Structure formats: C-alpha cells, structure tokens
Amino acid sequence: MEFFQNFRSHAVVLPNLAKFALGMVIIVGVPSLCRRIRLPAVVGLVLTGTIIGPNVMGFFGENRPVPEFLADLGKLLLMFVAGLEIDLAQFRNAEGRSITFGLLTTTIPLLLGTTVRMLFGYSVTSAIVIGSLLASHTLLAAPIVTKLGANHLEPVTVTFGATVMSDKLSLVVFAICVSTYVSGFSAFRLILQILQIAILVPVILLGLGRVGAALARRVASSAPPRYDSVPLLLHDMLVIACIDAGELIEARAYLAEADTARKPWELPWILLFLEGDWEPAGKMLTAEFERSRTAGDRYQEWWATYHLARSHRLTGEPGQAMQFLLRALQISVDGRDIALELATRPSLATMAADAGIAGEALQHLQRCRQIVAAGENWLGLAGSVERAEAVVTAARGEYSAAKAYFEKAIASFQRYSLPWEEADTLQYWGRALLAAGQPSRAIEKFDAAIEIYRSRGASVRFVEYVMTDKMRAQGSKSTDTEVQSPPTDSVHANAPAPAHQLQAPTSNDRIRDEVSPPRTRAVDAISGSHIPAGVGGESRRVVATILFIDIVGSTEHVTKLKDRGWVELRRSFFEEIRKQLASFNGREIDATGDGMLAIFENPAAAIQCAFAMSQGVEKLGLQMRAGIHTGECELVGGDAIGIAVHIGARVASQAGPNEVMVSSTVRDLLVGGEITFVDRGVGELKGIPGEWRLYAVERQS
C-alpha cells in the first residue's frame, strides 16, 4: 500500500503533458496485456480506469483535465466504432424494430427510475436525472460481439441501433434537466429548449449529411476509380494474376463477370495488348496517361507511362520508349516509391545497354543492386534485375557471366509464374548468344520464347517479334560469314531501321485467314503489293517467302512425249503456274527447265498459290512438288540470292508428289491460323548446316 501511496503522490504533481503520456501508456499497454490473459481489451481499460480513477486510488488528483478528456474521447470512440460495425443494409431493413426497441428501452427505465426516486422523496428534476441515467445503456460488449463475428446478425444490429438511440434520448433529457436545475423551471424556457432541439437534430442529421455527401461526390469525381468492397478488389486482383500467369482465357472469363461500369481500365488494356490489338491498347494507355497526369494521380500516371514505354519498345520506337521510362523513373523517385523504382530501372538499364550507353546502364544497375541488397524480398522483380545484369554483362562481351544471370532470371520468372517476362528474357538471351557467335543455341532460346507466346495464347505479333531474331540467327548459322550484331530494341533510336529488321505489324496484318495473313516484311522491302527488285545492279536486303516448285518425273515425261510434245506440255505448265502466280501477287525470279523460283510477301499466300498451281497442272496430267521457306535474301537486279534461297530449294527436294513442304520458320509464322501442318520430323538439308524440322501442309478440301 505504501508503494501505491508514493506513486500517487508523485503522479498528482506531474504536469498535464506527463499525465497525458501516462494515459497513452495505459491505452497502448493494457490491451496488449489483456490479450495475453484472454480478457477483452475494453474490459481491461474500464477496470484500469476504475482503479486509477478518483473513486479508488485517485492517481490524477483533483485537477484532472487529461483523464476526463480521455474518458470522454473513449465514450465517443466506443459509440463511433459501434456505428462502423453496423450493417447499414440490414439496419435499414430493421429500422422500425430498432426505433421501437430504442423507445421502449429508454422510456420504461426512465419512467420506472423517475417513479421510484420520487417515492423516496427526491425532487422531480433529480428523479428524472436518475431515471435518464438508468435509461442509458453502454456498448461495452460491442468489441466482444464483433470478435465473435456476430455483429452482422439482425438482433445485434437492432440492439446496436436501439442503444445508440437510447443514449441520445437520455442525453437530451439530461440536458433539459440540467438547464432546469440551473435556471429554475419555466414553461417558456422548456418549450424554447424543445424547439431548439427539434431544429438542431434535423439540421445535423439531414443538413450536415447532405453537405458531407456532396463534398464526397465532388472529391470522388476527380479521384481515380475506387473499389466499393474487398470482394471486388480481390476479383480484379485475380484477373491480373491470371494475366501475369499467362492464363488469358481464365482472365477473360473472370473479367466478363465484372460490372462494366466499374471495370478498371488497365484490365482490358492488358488483354488487348497481349491479344495483338496494339493500336486501341495504345490509345487507351495514352488517354489514361493524360487523365492521370491532369488529375495528379501519380501511381496511375506511372502505370500508364511504364506500359507506354513497353508498347513503344515492341513497335520499334526506342527513343520514345526511353523517354517514357525516364518519366516513370521521375515519378517513382519523387514519390519515394522503392517498388516502382525497382520496376523501372532494370528496363532503363537494359535499353541503355542495347543502345551502347554503358555508363547510364551501369548507373541504373548499381541503384538496383543497392535496393536489392537492403534485404527486402522483391519476389518476381528480382528477376528483372537479374535480366538487366545479364544484358549489361553480355554487352561488355562477358558471355559466360551473362549466362549465369540469364539462368537466375529465368528461374525467378518460372518460380513466380511470369511467362511473359520469361519469354522476353529468352529473347534477350538468344540475342546475346547470337552476338557471341553461337547461332544454334540462339535459335534454341528464340524457339523457347516463341513456344511460350504460342502456348499461352499471345498474339502472333509477339511470335513475329521473336522471329525477326530467329531468322537472322538462321542466316548466320547457315553461312561462314562474320556474325553481325543481333537486332536490339534500340534500333539506334535516331536512325532509320536497317533493311533487315522486321517492322511491328499493324492491326490489319494479323493472321485472320489463309488468304490475308500478316505480312512479314522489311522496313523498305515491300512497296504496294509486290516485292521490288533492285534497280540495275542495286542490292536490296529483304525478308521474303521463297517458293520452289518443280515437276515430278520430268525425265519420264520427256522420254514418253519426245522433244516436241514435251515443249508443248512445258509451255502449258508455265502458263498455268504464271497465271496462279499473278493471282496471289507472287513474283517470278527464275524459271528452270522443269521448275520455278518465286517470292511472296507472306507465307500463307505462297502456300495457297502452290496448291492452286498443283490443282491446275493436274489437269495437264502432271504432278509437282513445292517447298517454301521464309528468310532474308538479297535482291540484285531481277535475281534473288542468299542462304534462304538455298534452304527453300532443299525443302522442296524433300516434298512428295502434289505435296507442299515448309520449313519450321513458315510454320511458326502461321501457327494459330486455319492452315494445318503435319510434322515430318527433323533432318539434314544437303549443303545446309544443322538439323531442320520440316512440315507438310495439309491440303484443304
């Protein structure tokens, strides 16, 4: 007891600020202690307040503004928290029962308490005050009920509403009694007080409520879309998770379940982008970028800016991509958002390395290393840093070290189910291998990236993007010439794209059917509907589809028909194939004794033309075989030369009578369309290094 007396003597003389600090220690410490002994926190606070209060130990003395303030604040917070826990929809349905129950639980104790006190000789005012105290209730058990999960039951909702109402009515009665006690009873003053209350209550309930609602609507009109409930937020997170994991069909299904009016803009954009509708997706991104920048929504502005950079990178606009990435970096640094900064800097380091700006690439990479070294688990973002390390290391010519980083990046993306990032990393790895003079291994990486895009349902435009590098690797693999540096996303920013680089296709170029597939084309190789030949001795490097055809059993026909008959049949043969060649916008390069070399803008047209030729020459009693390959070739005058031409000839030699045989390059470009391919296995082509997988095209009825 002596200890408590000494403690009280010191506590009483403490300044108010120290008493406030002591009160805060109790508020913070007591709930933690109560949880350990399985006692409701609110009960522990009430017991502690009772013990240290003026009626027991009186630690705060006679002058106690701090505990009185905390006590009033506690009562208000208890009422406020209880109001938050009320299910408003259920309360509206049970509003009548709450009002009835509140009136009964207020009126009955008030009348009984007043009557009993008057029987004991109390004055009317004193009796009514005591009756109002008995009529008021407490929400002391509200936290316990909430913890048990019973706060959404209708009886609990009715009780909460009735308790709040009874407390308010009791306070009104108490206020009238206090005024009467101080100033004496007066009928006029009583009526005036009742009128004031009758005016004040509707003004607070209706007027302030409407003003608050108007302000909320005004703020919401300029704010970004918000989620009305946790289930909606979780639903949209599920859609994004499906997209990131490459489950586009599931993402579409979940997105279709969402309410169109509140559908977040970024979800349709991502799907449009992955499905190849880059132009409408770009318009959506640009509109969101302008909106978020005007509204000052920094996070949405970063999101739109970052993905605009990605869009421009894929469509061969590295200068604009770099500008958007720098803007995204500025947003993340200004907002001190480490996560957004770590998402942005690896892309900047990668693009800077591609553009040959080693110093800038290393600067971004060093900052990424600092962030990662702090010990935070960055999950899939760590893979982006590892990929940037790999690209920068490969740019310095340290290919062995780059391999280790590429492997780490692939492992990270596989671990966190990020197939799009994995495919992008495989393409970068293939470019590094090609630069290191390992075209065969580069082709393996490009094929792996293509397989991811194809298996996950991404647009053929992503396949074409990788095919640009693969065809370059195939050309490098098939010749003993010096390996050139592979194409990068930088494309020298300010210079026109070289003739060997494929341009990003437009929305009209997607594979929809066999007759009008996307055009695999070089920057300046195709003009109008025909592939131009070099003027005079001018050389043009283009990507084209090569078609080789020849007559099956021509020697037997010559022996059977003799010279004159063979000349006539051969003339009819070439008339027929030239007619079909013109129908499908092909261009004749060379005609041999029993065959022809032609080139096309796209492989699907070449396939259709080959089948049309085969059907036409059958009427002449002939059979022909066809081979098709897509790759780079050199147009010199009216001739086409290059390894791709030799590959096309070797593919044709593997075809049977009335058969159209294609290389894996052609098949990869047309996968997902209506043309069906039959795998004929892997084999060697005479004079062409390496092994090649060939496919026979299934004739359509």
Residues 514 and 467 in one domain: no
CB 359, CB 397: distance < 8 Å: no
Does the structure show a pLDDT above 80 at 59?
A: no
Q: What is the average pLDDT across 307-321?
A: 81
- 527-544: per-residue pLDDT in tens? 333 444 444 445 667 778
Average pLDDT over residues 66-95: 64
- pLDDT score of 520: 30
Name beta bridge partners: 678.
696
Residues 474 and 529 in one domain: no
Residues 52 and 135 in one domain: yes
Based on the fold, state whether residues 88 and 133 are members of the same structural domain.
yes
Both 568 and 456 in one domain: the answer is no
Mean per-residue pLDDT of the chain: 77
Q: Assess if residue 538 is contained within a domain.
A: yes
Residue type, 663: S
Where does a domain end: 201, 220, 239?
Answer: 220
CATH code of residue 207: 1.20.1530.20
Among residues 220, 251, 279, the one where a domain terminates is 220
Same domain, 114 and 211: yes
Residue 548 lies in a domain: yes
Residues 72, 112 within the same domain? yes
* Residue 228 belongs to a domain: no
- 522 with 664, same domain: the answer is yes
Which pLDDT value is given to residue 375? Answer: 76
Query: Does residue 9 lie in a domain region?
Result: yes
Partnered with residue 663 across adjacent β-strands are 694
Torsion of CA 13, 15, 19, 25, to 10 degrees: -110
188 and 50 housed in the same domain: yes
Query: Which residues make beta-bridge pairs with 700?
Result: none
Residue 88 predicted with pLDDT over 70:
no
Quick one: average pLDDT of 93-118? Answer: 85
Number of domains in the chain: 3
- The first and second tokens of residue 490, run together, are 């930088």
Structural domain boundaries, residue 617:
508-697
The helix/strand/coil state of 701 is coil
The three-state secondary structure class of 388 is helix
Q: Are residues 591 and 681 in the same domain?
A: yes
Residue pair 216/247 in contact by the 8 Å Cβ criterion: no
Asked whether residue 502 is assigned to any structural domain, the reply reads no
Give residue-wise pLDDT tens across range 9-42: 766 667 777 777 877 888 888 888 887 887 777 7
**pLDDT band per the 50, 70, 90 thresholds, residue 324:** confident
Domain assignment present for 368 = no
Q: What is the pLDDT of residues 501-525, one digit of tens each?
A: 323 333 333 322 333 332 233 323 3
Q: Is residue 164 part of a domain?
A: yes
**Same domain, yes or no, for 467 and 516?**
no
Angle between helix axes 154-183 and 65-85 (nearest 10 degrees) is 140
Looking up residue 625, the CATH number of its domain turns out to be: 3.30.70.1230
What is the Cβ-side half-sphere exposure of residue 377, based on CA atoms within 13 angstroms? 3
Residue range 221-238: average pLDDT?
62
The answer to whether residue 430 is domain-embedded is yes
pLDDT digit string, tens, across residues 453-478: 888 888 777 888 888 888 888 775 54
pLDDT, one tens digit per residue, over 576-635 is: 999 999 999 898 888 766 789 999 988 999 999 999 999 999 998 899 999 999 887 888
Distance of CA 441 to the CA centre of its chain: 31
With pLDDT > 90 as the criterion, what percentage of the chain qualifies?
Answer: 16
Same domain, residue pair 581 and 460:
no
Last residue of a domain, one of 200, 220, 240: 220
